Structure 1
Amino acid sequence: MMKNQKPKELVAAWVALFNAGDAEKIAALYHEDAINHQVAAAAPVVGKAAIQEMFAREFSAAKMVCLVENLFEDHEWAILEWKDPLGLRGCGFFHVVDGKIQFQRGYWDRLTFLRQHKLPIPNE
């Protein structure tokens, strides 16, 4: 990955690695102290190693596919609007600093995801 890669290019690479289910390579796109906050899932995940562990866990739980609907760029930010083959939709915001993801926030419906993938639904 090039240091001067634009946010939109970086997120396009992120999507390819996400679809490949490659936790190690996707984690390499993040800064060491990056934050990944999937609002529907849990508290923010802090640090590249923890982000890699999160992706490894998620990729082993379900086959996830990200289909890009829109990908926008605004200065240091990329905005991804996506869907998956099962009909789930969401969006993600990526703050890219010096060619790596510093901060990511994602919005999607966790209950729909769990049901679609026939995963256990936690008790409240």
Structure 2
Amino acid sequence: MTQWANSLPGFERTRHQISNIKTIVNGDRATATADVVANHYLDKMFWQITGSYKYNVVKEEGEWKISQMTFLAKSEKGDRQIINEAVEEASINPAPYIQRQQTKQAVIHFLTSLEEKDMDKLASVWAEDAVQDMPFSPDNFPKRVIGKANLIKHYADWQKISGKANFTENLVFYPMQDATMIFAEWRGDVEIITTGRIYKQRYGGLFHVVDGKIELFREYYDPIVFKYAFGLDEAELSGNTIALCAGKRQ
């Protein structure tokens, strides 16, 4: 599907003529075949391909789902260069399906970079004018960090203060109408070296991703859990808050 989505939206129009449809059902498995003539148009270019589809289908929990699709090309005419032109056009204006995949992948890269403590990978996820909002940050901690350079500084000591970390085991995505936006929920389970405590947190995050880079990350989390994991109450009493939490992961 990704391959189709990388090219099909780049054509000005397409027309698929389906005929000779046949199905064979055998219990919870089935096959379906059909002949097709597909016409593709872009500017003054034209390309036609003729062939047949074969679908393998399985029944899972009462619903039929495609397990495999095969296309057998028989003949073609016109200019194949139209495919490259369509791919280029689609890359400039990606289909919502492709954009949603890019949006999800940027979030995954962000969280796995924290798990792996790969600071180069972490730096690569941000747009130059990226913003991270943290509306529930405790007192004396930033509510907002603006710009890629400042975000890199914000996470600079992550390798020093964290041990084993897991952010993606329970990651759930909620797609939005705008394919560049997504809401995610995940749980954090992190060893905090500075206190010896395990930081167990539940997060919500609103992300805006453009061209594979995070432009906005609005992070929601429980500040009480955060303060305990990093020993902020004790640090406030001793006046050593900054030393305990330098480079914290919020």
Write the distance in 2 (CA, Å) between the matches of 1:19 and 1:51: 17
SS at match of 1:40: coil
Aligned identity (percent) is: 25
Structure 1, unaligned runs of 5 or more: none
Instruction: Measure how far apart 1:58 and its partner are.
Output: 4.2
One-letter amino acid of the structure 2 residue matched with residue 66 of structure 1: F
Residue in 2 aligned with 1:79? 183
Instruction: Measure how far apart 1:59 and its partner are.
Output: 4.4
Matched-pair contact (CA < 8 Å) for 2:133–2:144:
yes
Is 2:170 the counterpart of 1:66? no
Aligned ranges 1:14-93 → 2 under 5 Å:
14-41=110-137, 42-63=142-163, 64-67=165-168, 68-74=170-176, 75-85=179-189, 86-93=199-206
Structure 2, unaligned runs of 5 or more: 1-90, 92-98, 190-198, 237-250
Instruction: Measure how far apart 1:111 and its partner are.
Output: 2.3
Instruction: Measure how far apart 1:95 and its partner are.
Output: 0.2
Q: Which has the higher contact order (CA 8 A, sep 6+)?
A: 1
Residue in 2 aligned with 1:120? 232
Structure with higher Rg: it is 2
**Which string of whole-angstrom CA distances, capped at 9 and with x for unpartnered residues, describes residues 7-58 of structure 1?**
0121112221121122332121111111011222222101111101111234
Give the alignment's TM-score, normalised by structure 2: 0.43
* Higher share of residues assigned strand: 2
Give the alignment's TM-score, normalised by structure 1: 0.80
Root-mean-square deviation (Å): 2.4
Instruction: Measure how far apart 1:6 and its partner are.
Output: 1.4
Count of aligned positions:
121
Closer, same or farther: CA 9–47 of 1 in aligned 2, 3 Å: same
Matched-pair contact (CA < 8 Å) for 2:200–2:225:
no
Closer, same or farther: CA 34–17 of 1 in aligned 2, 3 Å: same
**Which string of whole-angstrom CA distances, capped at 9 and with x for unpartnered residues, describes residues 81-123 of structure 1?**
0112354211111100121111110000122123134x33364
